């Protein structure tokens, strides 16, 4: 893989990850871009002791443009996009409308393919490996920033969960604080370690799921995919390596190669679940250990879930979920696992 | 107000709250109803030490029926509904498709009016008082159950946030555990009390918001409505009494009477915000102190927010919010307060 770093017209970084070592990325971004927006604010909510990002400039962000105005496509036929190249494999650049920026974190966009009409599920395994290498590269580099507390790689897919650009892409956030959910995970892992003389919580949960087998959807020698016993979402799968590692950079080459086929299989099962032509909306979220503290309490894994509970029906986060944090799941996890195995 | 308790055909409780003391509620529910569904399961998520309710029977719940099949309308013209009466003011009954039931909590439905086409915002202040009295009654009764840990009264409004019945109604949940968000609130309140020699956190936050004034939307001698400085949602208002009380039953008659006009004013501002005919979807959530423990740390208040961020655009809980618990708000709270004051 060849890695090339360049800058966009307004000074943002762009990094190409090319599968061919012969790739040359020397085109200059000739657009006249407005100055970068002011940094977003971090505000502290005293009632729950949590941080909220206020990013007013995002209200004017690009919203579901037609495909011939897609800013994530390569620059072709005289149309200049966010990517000053006529083609690319995987490319990462700083978000033009970031939720976090300049001293309060960083937001990057990762394009999985130059093909506007593709989806992650349609990528070849080789490309998935390139994406994983790119995410590992970004995690390592962003983790080196003393202001970063956690690096979060994720994909939102589908207008049903608010995607504003159709081109297949994910995002990478470097948070300047530990997110509330990570805090809860670390507290639970710490309590478990205390109770058990130092055992890793996720290691024990994964071993129990593999032993039970009832909720396992798919596995290979390096990874297991299962529906957690207390799943929050109608169809939710956790995909974990068999070896405790804190983050993506710590995965071996074999583990990275083994991830793609299993994940692609899972995504295709998600799309086949409901027997409808519309692809299944999903959130795919990599949980990594914090950048500095409590590295040994973490355990890299992916949480993949859809908000669709039936054809034409979505799971909404209404009063109980959004005000109280209590999830109500209408699909028993064992039934979800069976449906995914059969899909 | 006259309170009458009865039972539905399958044994569920129904409680009428009538504004006329002359009301007679003696009609029998003659429907042949299937047995009540099995109790939902509570499952513990070890990764975050939280409870999730698994309620498989809810997948078959009534979903957006036409208005002539509404189960919340009075029983008229031979059509038998959930309410065996030809009219009602406010009525509460146990949910036929509960998220929590039988030893794992309780779920009730509260109908605000017999008028299918009304909305909370269209109720007269007198009716809001009856609703508050009904919620206070239910809070007191459900709190007496030794299995209850917190009582949560809320309204989801609008199909955009998943409402499955259009008839104006709210819900009451008695949780058998402390919800995660309440746990966080109590932890923050406890830390504040320790730091300040016993001061109540919410009392201090409310005093600061009233002193600053910048985010205050409306007020009267008993209540203040303001956009919190670290609002999560595009338009979010907290409505709090000026006196620290743990829950709705503790409100005086004057405080209850003063709530209605201010809340109705707020709801109408929400509906006027976007200049579109479609009513604004919202979640309206009463935060009450836990039933038994930490009563002095709590402070009754209502959190009202919409997921609409602009005409035709919703705020979605995508990767950052749902996987990490980190909210990104595109509307500065001061701008939201100004827009609500002017609406």
Q: Residue B235: helix, strand or coil by DSSP?
A: strand
* B157 and B200 both lie in a single domain: no
Backbone angles phi, psi at B255, to 5 degrees: -65, -40
* B59 and B196 both lie in a single domain: no
What H or E segment, with its residue span, contains residue A40? none
Per-residue model confidence (pLDDT) at position A186:
97
* A60 and A131 both lie in a single domain: yes
For residues B104 and A342, which has the higher predicted lDDT (pLDDT)?
A342
Give the closest of B58, B161, B319 to A171, CB-based. Answer: B319
* B73 and B129 both lie in a single domain: yes
User: Above 80 in pLDDT, residue A103?
Assistant: no
Residue B22 C-alpha, separation from nearest chain A C-alpha, in angstroms = 35
DSSP category for residue B59? G
* A169 and A209 both lie in a single domain: no
Per-residue model confidence (pLDDT) at position B156:
95
* A139 and A239 both lie in a single domain: no
* A158 and A243 both lie in a single domain: no
- From the list B172, B50, B177, B175, the residue with the least C-alpha distance to B105 is B175
CA distance B108 to B93: 5
The band of A295, judged by pLDDT with boundaries at 50, 70 and 90, is very high
Considering only CB atoms, which chain A residues are within 8 Å of B185?
47-48
pTM: 0.94
Considering only CB atoms, which chain A residues are within 8 Å of B320?
99, 152, 154, 173, 179
The answer to whether the Cβ–Cβ distance between A173 and B320 falls below 8 Å is: yes
Considering only CB atoms, which chain B residues are within 8 Å of A179?
320, 324-326
CA distance B298 to B27: 41
User: Above 80 in pLDDT, residue A55?
Assistant: yes
* A117 and A210 both lie in a single domain: no
Percent of chain A with pLDDT over 70: 99
Per-residue pLDDT averaged across A84-97, rounded? Answer: 95
Query: What is the biggest distance separating any 2 CA atoms in chain B, rounded to whole angstroms?
Result: 63
- Give the range of the structural domain holding residue A42, as residue numbers without chain letter: 2-175
Single residue among B144, B175, B206 that ends a domain in this structure: B175
Active site residue B222: no
* B191 and B167 both lie in a single domain: no
User: Above 80 in pLDDT, residue A261?
Assistant: yes
Single residue among A175, A210, A228 that ends a domain in this structure: A175
User: Above 70 in pLDDT, residue A143?
Assistant: yes
Give the closest of A58, A188, A331 to B47, CB-based. Answer: A188
Give me the tens of pLDDT residue by residue for chain B, a chain 343 residues long. 999 999 999 999 999 999 999 999 988 999 999 988 888 899 999 999 999 999 887 766 777 788 889 999 999 988 999 999 999 999 999 999 888 887 778 999 999 999 999 999 999 999 999 999 999 999 999 999 999 999 999 999 988 887 888 999 999 999 999 999 999 999 999 999 999 999 999 999 999 999 999 999 999 999 999 999 999 999 999 999 999 999 999 999 999 999 999 999 999 999 999 988 888 999 999 999 999 999 999 999 999 999 888 888 888 888 899 999 999 998 999 999 999 999 9
Per-residue model confidence (pLDDT) at position A59:
66
The answer to whether the Cβ–Cβ distance between A283 and B318 falls below 8 Å is: yes
The answer to whether the Cβ–Cβ distance between B152 and A191 falls below 8 Å is: no
Per-residue model confidence (pLDDT) at position A67:
82
Give the closest of A173, A231, A323 to B181, CB-based. Answer: A323
Burial B329-338 (b: 16+ CB within 10 A, else e): bbbbbbbbbe
Single residue among B148, B175, B202 that ends a domain in this structure: B175
- From the list B315, B207, B245, the residue with the least C-alpha distance to A161 is B315
For residues A111 and A313, which has the higher predicted lDDT (pLDDT)?
A111
* A286 and A138 both lie in a single domain: no
The answer to whether the Cβ–Cβ distance between B283 and A162 falls below 8 Å is: no
CATH of the domain at B270: 3.30.428.10
* B254 and B311 both lie in a single domain: yes
* B156 and B210 both lie in a single domain: no
pLDDT tens sequence across A241-259: 999 999 999 999 999 999 9
Per-residue model confidence (pLDDT) at position B102:
75
Per-residue model confidence (pLDDT) at position B59:
67
CA distance B220 to A251: 60
DSSP string, A44-104: EETTTTEEEEE-GGGGGS--S--GGG-TTSB-BTTB--SB-SS--SEEEEE-SS-SS-TTS
- Structurally, chain B folds into a number of domains equal to 2
């Amino acid at each position: 893989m060849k890695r090339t770093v360049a800058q966009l017209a307004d000074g943002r970084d762009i990094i190409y990850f090319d599968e061919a070592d012969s790739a040359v990325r020397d085109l200059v971004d000739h657009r006249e871009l407005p100055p970068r927006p002011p940094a977003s604010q971090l505000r502290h909510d005293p009632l729950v002791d949590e941080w909220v990002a206020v990013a007013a400039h995002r209200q004017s962000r690009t919203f579901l443009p037609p495909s011939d105005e897609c800013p994530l496509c390569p620059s072709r036929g005289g149309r200049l996009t966010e990517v000053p190249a006529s083609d690319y494999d995987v490319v990462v650049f700083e978000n033009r409308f970031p939720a976090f920026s300049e001293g309060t974190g960083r937001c990057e966009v990762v394009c999985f393919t130059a093909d506007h009409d593709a989806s992650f599920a349609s990528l070849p395994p080789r490309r998935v490996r390139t994406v994983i290498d790119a995410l590992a590269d970004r995690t390592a580099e962003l983790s080196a920033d003393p202001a970063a507390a956690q690096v979060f790689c994720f994909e939102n897919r589908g207008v049903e969960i608010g995607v504003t650009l159709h081109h297949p892409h994910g995002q990478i956030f470097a948070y300047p604080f530990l997110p509330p959910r990570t805090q809860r995970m670390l507290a639970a892992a710490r309590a478990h370690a205390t109770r058990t003389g130092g055992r890793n919580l996720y290691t024990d949960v994964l071993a129990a799921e593999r032993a039970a087998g009832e909720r396992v959807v798919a596995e290979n020698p390096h990874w297991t995919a299962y529906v957690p016993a207390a799943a929050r979402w109608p169809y939710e799968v956790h995909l974990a390596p068999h070896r405790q590692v804190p983050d993506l950079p710590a995965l071996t080459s074999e583990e990275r190669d083994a991830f793609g086929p299993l994940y692609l299989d899972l995504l295709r099962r998600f799309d086949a679940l409901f027997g409808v032509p519309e692809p299944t909306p999903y959130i795919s979220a990599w949980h990594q250990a914090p950048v500095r503290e409590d590295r040994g309490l973490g355990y890299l894994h992916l949480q993949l879930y859809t908000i669709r509970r039936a054809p034409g029906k979505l799971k909404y986060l209404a009063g109980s979920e959004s005000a109280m944090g209590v999830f109500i799941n209408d699909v028993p996890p064992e039934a979800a696992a069976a449906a995914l195995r059969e899909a």
